[in-house]
Homo-oligomer: A and B are copies of this chain.
Amino acid sequence: MSETRIIGKPMPMTDGRAKVTGRGKYADDLAVPGMLWGRILHSPHAHARIVLVDSSRAEALEGVKAVAIGRDAPVPYGILPVGHDERVFALDKVRYIGDNVAAVAATSPEIADEALRLVRVEYGPLPAWFDPLEAMEAETDWIHDTKPHNIEKEYHHEFGDVEAGFAAAAFVLEDRYRCGEVTHAAMEPHSTLAVWEPDERLTVYSSTQVPFYLHRTLSAVCEMPMSRIRVVKPLVGGGFGGKSEIIPLEVAASVLAKKTHRPVKITYTREEVFYAHRGRPITIVDLKTGITSDGRITAVQARIVQDGGAYCGYGPVTVLYSGQLLGAIYAIPNVRFDGYRVLTNKPACGAMRGHGTVNARFAFESILDQLAARAGLDPIELRRRNLLRAPCVTPNGLRVTSYGLPECIDRVAERSGWSEKRGKLPPGRGIGFACSHYVSGAANPILRSNMPHTTVHIKIDRDGAVVVYSGASEIGQGSDTMHVQIVAEVLGVRPERVELVAADTGLTPVDLGSYSSRVTFMAGNACLAAARNMRDRIVRAVAGEFGCDPQDLETRDEEVFSAKNPSARMGFDEAVALAIAETGALVASGAYAPPEEARGGKFKGAGVGPSPAYSYSAQTAEVAIDRETGQVKVERIVAAHDCGRALNPLAVDGQVQGSIYMGMGQAVQEEMLWREGRLMNPSLLEYRVPTTLETPEIESLIVESVDPEGPFGAKEAGEGSLAAAIPAIANAIYDAVGVRITDVPFTPERVLAAIRAKEQAEKGSSR
């Protein structure tokens, strides 16, 4: 495919009009006759035994149709097979303030709320653990009996000879980096409408990133075969990982629908969203890194502790990624990683954009700058001296098939004016640099099987509509548009001809979901295969008619034609009719599974493996520091992102900007503040995501390394740019005011304190 018509061209999102006109339907917009309102009763205790739950008074309230408690749905579940430690309603004890105890379905939300007040629960409070370092030393009152010392999961990996590496280093630095907890803050709160169908099936409309895993979980918890349950994903108003696990309201609504034989809708309040969040955990990174005098990394040692909250969730993956993905970006010959996922009596953390990599990358890109300063090297030059020689397999087993990082670095350096600015900006102003990367999906599915990760079917009938059935979940990232582009390109038709049916387990083949930036790479490849198979059928029929070789036919601009014979030319509708006459409405299929060699790596056992392809990003951030207040103002970010190939540059630009915006929010202002297990800022007024006023100019540069296995060469674009923003800002602060901030976020208090301390130290040393 030498020249493309649709791929690589900016295309507005296919669901854009529905969203901006307000006519699109999100889960909470849905309503059906006879629908009940569900509400959930949450624990006021961080850690307590449940002595008694008495729902009789609530059940007696007029308008209450059902109250569900622990024994109504006792099957435990969790997103990972190794972590089925949650129940929709606590059975034996509650483990965080906000834990789910019961739910009510009633004829109005007001009655449901009133009923919650009538559910009587007796608790037996227990000592609670809030600090991960303390929790992992605990000898008693473990949060889960099966997890001694509250350690959910630990990893200990070593590749190469780390001690020898440090011995060979000219400079070795060691530091501790701390990151606060952040959350996704998606605009759309979680919402689920569960409909009990007249034929005793259950249809669940939910704001989810993972319809397929929800489908499986509901089957288990509701004790119904999957073939009797249908999960439909309506429009989703942002996920960012916060909708990539099973959220208690999804199960609660379903259990209540099954119990009442009525439709039940539950929508979280914003406060509930904060408590249910599954965001990025508090992380403590103890990092040691050595380089030679000419700047080559000799060894890396990281000890990472994550404050996981009360349940497993994605935790083992989060901590695994934080060590595993130290690799695949620079050449690191020797690496040791000790990772701990620790349980505490707070809501469970989970996957958030840049899952696992962000806080470790902050530490790593900070220490590189610290080492560059020590060695007297330009920070960019230091990175250049540690590039991989791709394609390659890293010492820790990651397979790098395409590697646009060198070009990303070059373009950012040039575009940002790096050499004119670093160390040369006016007082209080600085520029910093950092790199990051991310996976293009996990090479192993969460539930191990040898089935493909995604399948796409395409149907064309005599109406000429190209109907694409894909399980992939549009969550705002452009998944739907990507499918339409690929199919229109391959078949040579207008995108308007393509109709996508997506993310409906009743109608579409399975796709594992929108997580780990897997959709473009995996669903895109399945879609491409299906489109090519469909094209083959049509082209063969036309070749038969013209008596020519199918290889000579092209499909473009709604025609099938021979490049060799101008008279051999047929409109798409006619070509379809010809092909249909042979066997009926056309259907073609495509599937994708990562190649075997991408799967295993050296990190087996966590339920996910490394990735078939990695994206890369290089960034500069420019900041202005108010030396009187410590306020950090991010003024400009230039980012180059290697997405393999930009199927839709408009979408890639949007994803890069969004990632950086989110990284910047974590860097300078976002943090979930806890006091004894209670969230101090559970609202969007208090948990401060940046507004447009705080968002700097972001310039994104697209780098296309054309991955050999990606669809049209494409790989990840939605997460990889996030992680670099935080250290780039930290490094810029250092350039501006000479202080190294190791605690995220870089609040005015912290920056000011560091400036004051530096001034004190300078005063002391000058004295």
Chain A contact residues, CB within 8 Å of chain B: 14-15, 17-18, 21, 23-24, 34, 197-201, 215-216, 219, 225-228, 230, 449-452, 454-455, 457, 459, 461-467, 469, 496-497, 499, 501, 505-507, 509-510, 526, 577, 580-581, 583-585, 587, 589-592
Contacts and interface: CB of A to CB of B under 8 A. Distances in A.
A18 B584 contact: no
A587 B589 contact: yes
A215 B463 contact: yes
A510 B462 contact: yes
Given A499-B227, A509-B584, A577-B449, A455 B461 contact: yes
B581 A227 contact: no
Contact of A23 (B198, B454, B585): B198
Contacts of A499: 201, 227, 230, 506
Contact of A589 (B228, B454, B455, B584): B584
A584 B461 contact: no
Contact of A451 (B14, B465, B581): B581
A505 B463 contact: yes
Contacts of A226: 463-465
Contact of A455 (B200, B454, B585): B585
B587 A591 contact: no
B452 A227 contact: no
A216 B463 CA distance: 8
Given A198-B24, A497-B227, A510 B452 contact: no
A591 B589 CA distance: 18
Nearest to A22: B198
Nearest to A453: B584
Question: Considering the complex of A and B, which 10 residue pairs feature the smallest CB-CB distances, nearest first?
Answer: A584-B591, A509-B585, A455-B584, A227-B465, A18-B198, A226-B463, A455-B585, A452-B584, A17-B198, A23-B198
A23 B499 CA distance: 29
Contacts of A577: 449, 451
Given A449-B577, A526-B584, 4 more contacts: A227-B497, A501-B506, A509-B585, A584-B590
A527 B484 CA distance: 29
Contacts of A23: 34, 198
Given A584-B455, A584-B590, A507 B496 contact: no
A509 B465 CA distance: 10
Contacts of A34: 23
Nearest to A465: B227
Given A17-B199, A199-B14, A589-B583, A451 B455 contact: no
B507 A501 contact: yes
A451 B580 contact: yes
A198 B463 contact: no
Contacts of A219: 463
A234 to B, nearest CB: 13
Contacts of A227: 463-466, 496-497, 499
A572 to B, nearest CB: 10
A499 B230 CA distance: 10
Contacts of A228: 496
A464 B227 CA distance: 6
A457 B17 contact: no
A519 to B, nearest CB: 16
5 contacts: A14-B199, A15-B199, A18-B197, A451-B581, A507-B507
Contact of A461 (B21, B450, B509): B509
Given A461-B510, A507-B501, A585 B591 contact: yes
Nearest to A23: B198
Contacts of A583: 452, 589, 591
A478 to B, nearest CB: 15
Given A497-B225, A581-B451, A506 B589 contact: no
A580 B14 CA distance: 30
A106 B18 CA distance: 23
Nearest to A18: B198
A443 to B, nearest CB: 16
Nearest to A506: B499
A571 B581 CA distance: 37
A530 to B, nearest CB: 9
Interface centre among A18, A457, A501, by most B CB within 10 Å? Answer: A457
Contacts of A506: 465, 467, 499, 501
A389 B592 CA distance: 57
A23 B21 CA distance: 31
A509 B14 CA distance: 23
A504 to B, nearest CB: 10
Contacts of A590: 584
Nearest to A454: B584
A452 B587 CA distance: 14
A182 to B, nearest CB: 33
B464 A225 contact: yes
Contacts of A467: 506-507
Contact of A459 (B197, B457, B461, B584): B457
Interface centre among A21, A200, A506, by most B CB within 10 Å? Answer: A506
Nearest to A581: B450
Nearest to A498: B227
Nearest to A584: B591
A98 to B, nearest CB: 32
A463 B217 CA distance: 12
A454 B584 CA distance: 7
Contacts of A462: 449, 451, 510
Nearest to A24: B198
Contacts of A585: 452, 455, 457, 509-510, 589, 591
Contacts of A584: 451-452, 454-455, 509, 526, 589-592
Contacts of A589: 583-585, 587
Contacts of A463: 215-216, 219, 226-227, 505, 510
A509 B459 contact: yes
A580 B465 contact: no
A175 to B, nearest CB: 47
A15 B198 CA distance: 8
Interface centre among A227, A230, A577, A584, by most B CB within 10 Å? Answer: A584
A599 to B, nearest CB: 14
A254 to B, nearest CB: 15
Contacts of A215: 463
A446 B230 CA distance: 37
A153 to B, nearest CB: 27
Interface centre among A228, A230, A464, A580, by most B CB within 10 Å? Answer: A580
A223 to B, nearest CB: 15
A457 B581 contact: no
